[in-house]
């Protein structure tokens, strides 16, 4: 497991190498010791899969506010996505900046997102499944979001969404406060 910094404090890419043989492969998705060695204290408390039937489906930008803010480990299990996070942490040197990368089922890469980031993605293929490992469960009243195309953030999406939930399309612009 190779855990690499991204230039955003606490945000890491996680590269893994499946062990392959004639039966197929075994793929280690999370290792508490490898994370701890990289200085990441992360204990998954909840897992979920987002299935996205159509290319161009946009989900996000989501986050949970305190006291239920979440760290997450995000991995694409089938298909491909363009995964994006926005740093919304007060006092962060990268506050208001975004980071994006492609995650695919064929590339054994995940993104570890600390709490204090908004997260979203757009599917680059039909039938994209995304696995979330979360440090905390969803709590009523803590769910929040930012508008995916807020000009103050300026995310360079690969293309405009073709499928978007009205809730995701209606999140407010980020005020930076």
Domains in the chain, ordered, with CATH?
2-169 (2.60.120.10)
Q: Which of 25, 51, 62, 119 is catalytic?
A: 62
- Of 125, 3, 140, whose CA–CA distance to 65 is shortest? 140
Query: How far is residue 54's CA from residue 73's CA, in Å, rounded to a whole number?
Result: 23
Query: How far is residue 79's CA from residue 100's CA, in Å, rounded to a whole number?
Result: 17
Structure confidence at residue 90 (pLDDT): 93
Backbone angles phi, psi at 159, to 5 degrees: -165, 165
Is 132 one of the catalytic residues?
A: yes
For residue 67, the Cα-to-chain-centroid distance in whole angstroms is: 20
Confidence of residue 2 (pLDDT cuts 50, 70, 90): very high
The predicted model scores a pTM of 0.93
The predicted-structure confidence for 25-83, as pLDDT tens digits, reads as follows: 888 889 999 999 999 999 999 999 999 999 999 999 999 988 889 999 999 999 999 99
Is 119 one of the catalytic residues?
A: no
Structure confidence at residue 145 (pLDDT): 94
Structure confidence at residue 98 (pLDDT): 98
DSSP type of residue 42: -
Contact 128, 83 (CB under 8 A): no
């Amino acid at each position: 497991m190779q855990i690499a910094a991204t230039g955003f404090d606490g945000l890491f890419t996680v590269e893994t190498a499946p062990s392959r043989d004639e039966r197929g492969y075994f793929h280690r998705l999370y290792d508490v010791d490898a994370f701890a060695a990289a200085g990441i204290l992360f204990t998954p408390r909840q897992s979920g899969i987002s299935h996205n039937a159509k290319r161009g489906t946009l989900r996000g930008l989501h986050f949970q506010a305190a006291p239920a803010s979440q760290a997450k480990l995000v991995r694409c299990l089938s298909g491909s996505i363009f995964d994006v996070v926005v740093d919304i942490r007060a006092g962060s040197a990268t506050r208001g900046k975004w980071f994006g990368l492609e995650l695919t089922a064929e590339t054994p890469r995940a993104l570890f997102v600390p709490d204090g980031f908004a997260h979203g993605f757009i599917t680059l293929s039909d039938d994209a499944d995304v696995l979330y490992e979360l440090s905390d469960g969803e709590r009523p009243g803590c769910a929040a979001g930012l508008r995916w195309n807020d000009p103050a953030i300026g995310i360079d999406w690969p293309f405009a969404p073709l499928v978007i939930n009205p809730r995701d399309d209606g999140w407010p612009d980020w005020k930076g406060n």
